[in-house]
């Protein structure tokens, strides 16, 4: 009997069956499809590199741009590389809405998504722009600048109602040989390579960047200004600027030219070079945090010599905080722990305001001599200053001011303010300080006075005074300073008010001393204590005094003193109610001393030529009789007698 086959599995059909034929057919279709696509790509690449096709694409792009911008756009030539998707535009020109040429570029090379271009959408990534000339105009009659339409057209996220899309998504921009003119201003770039990193800071590499402009200053004078940067590097928040130069020029003589006693600083005559290094570790739409690691700036003409500036800055839209501030001008050093600046806000009405922690200064005043005060060119004695500042746009307040020498032989405590800043008029500026206490030992006073180049008078009398203590006030106006207060010494106290008239070059004022040991101060023991009040006026004009010195020599100041002595004593004589008048022409001092009486005046005349040798004083007694006379209030008989003698001498 034959066995039955119990296996129900059927053997597969041979490969040459129907399913095999289907697989071979699919493979053939796939090969043909891939091959066709490859051929189409090759053909497309060949077509895109053909003049007619590129001209068609150029026309298409010009249509899109013209429609989007609403103005005339022209191109000389366009070339496209399909493999790299590079589009190169030669001779690009764009007019503004008034038909004026806005932009002209020798070459614009960009990575463009060509497939989207076919759909009417232009998407730009990397771009290189060379040989650019742009002219931006905004005249008084124009409501907006002539480039505003371009800015509005390129705003992200907006589309024309006609459906033409134009988006700019640039990862990198390179600019070479760029010139931009804005009315009379101009901007130029040698090279600038900018890589964008989303919301992070960009990466910048630049060479030969600059901007120049001209404006009329407050005096109505046209001033040319320019700022240029040799190189700029910004990478990962690290900013380096080298070869920075800032120049101002009003094409007129420097404001203090020909004035050797005035500083060289003139804001309209600067030629400042600088460099800086900064780390920007946070930058957002509403806040910035940065560390200025190094800044130096010098102007060899004016004498500005900022050797080092460092600080940390945190800024928001409402407030700027600076901390760890260090400034070095020459050998002068300034340190500030913290400063907070509140920014003005028109919406809330908030004004500019600021407040600092304690500011400490090691001041070598010669460091500011060339720009501001040549008289300080020999002032090498270090002074130490500390204060706290606050204020707004019109006023600066100084609190807890302390000034001292290293040995504390000179020590001053004060507070004050500067105001009138908002007027931008130096004639309206005012400075006021209240000196709550000042102590100056004799050695310290001599050291300070020796820092100045002028001749020093009455130094012997100054030493005799000993330590000086002072309480008073200081006011500074335009070319005028006033001092007042009380000076306390071991030989008596003096109340005084003094004005330095910088415009007319005079120093004048008055003093009052109820009781002072005049003989001890003058080095003439035979003179006793005195109580007096006096008015004085001295010539401080360098030109006028120099002319007298050249012609006649002399060791004395030039001026006049009118005094009333309540009491005085000389040897065994004591007098009261005495009028004194003295005049000095720089060579010889002459004067009179008169004790007026009802029917007789008792007095003397005197002359001297050297304040350090007053014991050589020449005295001539004078006794005059007259009818009954009662002195008028405020009348100084000694001065009246001197005026009469001068009148008689002039007649002879």
Residue 193 near residue 202 (C-beta atoms within 8 A): no
Of 583, 540, 587, 535, the closest CA to residue 562 belongs to 535
Helix (H) or strand (E) holding 121: strand 121-136
> Model confidence at 633, in pLDDT bands (50, 70, 90)?
low
Determine if residue 509 is left, alpha or beta; phi over 0 gives left, psi from -120 to 50 gives alpha, anything else beta.
left
pLDDT in tens, 594-619: 877 767 677 777 888 877 676 677 87
Query: What percent of the chain has a predicted confidence (pLDDT) above 70?
Result: 80
Residue 598 near residue 629 (C-beta atoms within 8 A): yes
Report the distance separating Cα 80 and Cα 58, nearest Å.
10
pLDDT at residue 518, rounded to an integer: 80
Determine if residue 228 is left, alpha or beta; phi over 0 gives left, psi from -120 to 50 gives alpha, anything else beta.
beta
Q: Please state the rounded mean pLDDT for residues 381-385.
A: 96
Report the distance separating Cα 394 and Cα 386, nearest Å.
22
Q: Which of 162-166, 510-514, 622-626 has the weakest average pLDDT?
A: 162-166
pLDDT at residue 156, rounded to an integer: 55
Answer whether residue 178 shows pLDDT above 70.
yes
Please state, as a whole number, how many other Cβ atoms lie within 10 Å of the Cβ of residue 104.
16
State the DSSP string of 68-102.
HHTS-EE-SEEEEETTTTEEEEEEEEEE-TTS-EE
Residue 598 near residue 565 (C-beta atoms within 8 A): no
Higher-pLDDT residue of 109, 146: 109
Q: Which residues pair with 119 in a beta bridge?
A: none
pLDDT at residue 35, rounded to an integer: 46
Report the distance separating Cα 258 and Cα 243, nearest Å.
32
pLDDT at residue 464, rounded to an integer: 83
pLDDT at residue 192, rounded to an integer: 93
Residue corresponding to tokens 């928001």: 316
Of 170, 70, 186, the closest CA to residue 110 belongs to 170
Q: Please state the rounded mean pLDDT for residues 284-297.
A: 93
pLDDT in tens, 87-120: 777 888 888 887 788 888 888 887 766 566 555 5
pLDDT in tens, 320-379: 999 999 999 999 999 999 999 998 887 777 888 999 999 999 999 999 999 988 888 999
- Residues in Cβ contact with 264 at an 8 Å cutoff, skipping those fewer than 6 apart: 254, 256, 301, 302, 303, 370, 371
Degrees to nearest 5, angle at CA 607 with 604 and 611: 125
Structural domain boundaries of the chain? 53-180, 505-652
pLDDT in tens, 301-320: 899 999 999 999 999 988 99
Beta strands in 250-406 (DSSP E): 269-283, 287-299, 304-316, 319-329, 332-342, 353-363, 383-392, 395-404
pLDDT in tens, 522-573: 887 888 888 888 999 999 887 888 888 777 777 788 899 998 888 877 777 7
Residue 78 near residue 91 (C-beta atoms within 8 A): no
pLDDT at residue 529, rounded to an integer: 85
Q: Which of 70-79, 256-265, 350-359, 440-449 has the weakest average pLDDT?
A: 70-79
pLDDT in tens, 452-499: 876 666 778 788 888 999 999 999 998 899 999 999 999 889 999 999
Q: Please state the rounded mean pLDDT for residues 629-651.
A: 72
166-182 CB burial, b ≥16 within 10 A, e <16? beeeeeebbbbebebeb
* Strand, helix or coil for residue 364: coil
- Residues in Cβ contact with 300 at an 8 Å cutoff, skipping those fewer than 6 apart: 271
> Model confidence at 2, in pLDDT bands (50, 70, 90)?
very low
- Cα dihedral 35/36/38/40 (nearest 10): 160
pLDDT in tens, 24-72: 665 554 455 444 444 454 545 555 555 666 666 666 667 777 777 777 8
pLDDT at residue 117, rounded to an integer: 56
Give the Å distances, CA to CA, from 513 to 412, 529, 532, 566.
Answer: 23, 11, 5, 10
pLDDT at residue 634, rounded to an integer: 66
- HSE (CB half, 13 Å, CA atoms) of 468? 21
Please state, as a whole number, how many other Cβ atoms lie within 10 Å of the Cβ of residue 304.
21
Residue 128 near residue 171 (C-beta atoms within 8 A): no
β-bridge pairing 121-136 and 172-182? parallel
Residue 606 near residue 621 (C-beta atoms within 8 A): no
Q: Please state the rounded mean pLDDT for residues 401-412.
A: 95
């Amino acid at each position: 009997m034959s066995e039955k086959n119990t296996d129900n599995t059927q053997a597969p059909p041979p490969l040459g069956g129907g399913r095999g034929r289907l697989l071979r057919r699919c493979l053939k279709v796939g090969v043909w499809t891939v091959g066709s696509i490859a051929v189409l790509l090759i053909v497309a690449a060949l077509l895109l590199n053909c003049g007619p096709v590129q001209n068609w694409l150029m026309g298409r792009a010009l249509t899109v741009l013209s429609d989007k911008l609403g103005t005339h756009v022209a191109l000389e030539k366009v070339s496209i590389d399909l493999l790299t998707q590079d589009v190169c535009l030669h001779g690009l020109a764009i007019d503004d809405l008034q038909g004026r040429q806005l932009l002209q570029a020798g070459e614009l090379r960009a990575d463009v998504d060509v497939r989207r271009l076919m759909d009417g959408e232009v998407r730009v990534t990397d771009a290189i722009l060379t040989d650019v000339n742009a002219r931006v105009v905004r005249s008084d009659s124009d409501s907006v600048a002539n480039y505003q339409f371009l800015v509005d057209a390129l705003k992200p996220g907006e589309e024309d109602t006609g459906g033409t899309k134009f988006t700019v998504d640039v990862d990198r921009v390179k600019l070479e040989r760029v010139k931009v003119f804005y009315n009379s201003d101009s901007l130029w770039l040698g090279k600038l390579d900018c890589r964008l990193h989303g919301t992070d800071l960009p990466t910048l590499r630049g060479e030969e960047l600059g901007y120049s402009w001209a404006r009329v200053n407050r005096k109505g004078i046209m001033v040319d200004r320019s700022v240029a940067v040799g190189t700029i590097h910004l990478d990962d928040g690290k900013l380096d600027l080298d070869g920075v130069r800032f120049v101002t020029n009003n094409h007129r003589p420097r404001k203090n030219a020909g004035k050797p006693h005035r500083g060289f600083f003139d804001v309209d005559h600067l030629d400042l070079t600088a460099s800086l290094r900064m780390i920007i570790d946070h930058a957002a739409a509403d806040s910035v945090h940065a560390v200025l690691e190094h800044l130096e700036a010098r102007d060899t003409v004016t004498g500005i010599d900022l050797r080092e500036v460092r600080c940390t800055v945190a800024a928001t839209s409402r407030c700027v905080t600076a901390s760890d501030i260090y400034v070095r001008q020459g050998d002068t050093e300034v340190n500030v722990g913290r400063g907070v600046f509140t920014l003005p806000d028109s919406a809330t009405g908030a004004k500019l305001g600021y407040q600092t922690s304690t500011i400490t200064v090691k001041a070598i005043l010669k460091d500011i001599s060339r720009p501001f005060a040549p008289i300080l060119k020999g002032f090498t004695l270090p002074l130490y200053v500390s204060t706290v500042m606050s204020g707004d746009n019109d006023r600066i307040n100084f609190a807890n001011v302390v000034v001292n020498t290293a040995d504390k032989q000179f020590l001053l405590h004060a507070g004050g303010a500067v105001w009138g800043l908002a007027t931008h008029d130096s004639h309206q500026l005012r400075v006021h300080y209240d000196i709550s206490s000042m102590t100056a030992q004799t050695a310290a006073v001599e050291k300070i006075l020796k820092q100045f180049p002028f001749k020093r008078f009455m130094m012997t009398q100054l030493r005799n005074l000993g330590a000086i203590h002072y309480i008073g006030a200081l006011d500074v106006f335009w070319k005028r300073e006033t001092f007042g207060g009380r000076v306390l010494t071991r030989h008596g106290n003096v109340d005084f008010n003094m004005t330095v008239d910088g415009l007319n070059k005079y120093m004048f004022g008055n003093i009052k001393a109820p009781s002072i040991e005049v003989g001890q101060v003058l080095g003439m023991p035979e003179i006793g204590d005195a109580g007096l009040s006096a008015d004085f006026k001295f010539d401080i004009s360098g030109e006028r005094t120099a002319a007298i010195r050249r012609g006649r020599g002399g060791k004395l100041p030039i001026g006049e003193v009118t005094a009333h002595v309540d009491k005085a004593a000389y040897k065994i004589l004591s007098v009261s109610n005495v009028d004194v008048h003295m005049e000095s022409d720089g060579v010889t001092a002459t004067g009179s001393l008169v004790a007026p009486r009802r029917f007789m005046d008792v007095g003397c005349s005197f002359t001297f030529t050297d304040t350090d040798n007053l014991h050589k004083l020449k005295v001539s007694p004078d006794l005059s009789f007259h009818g009954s006379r009662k002195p008028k209030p405020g009348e100084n008989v000694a001065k009246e007698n001197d005026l009469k003698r001068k009148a008689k001498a002039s007649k002879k």
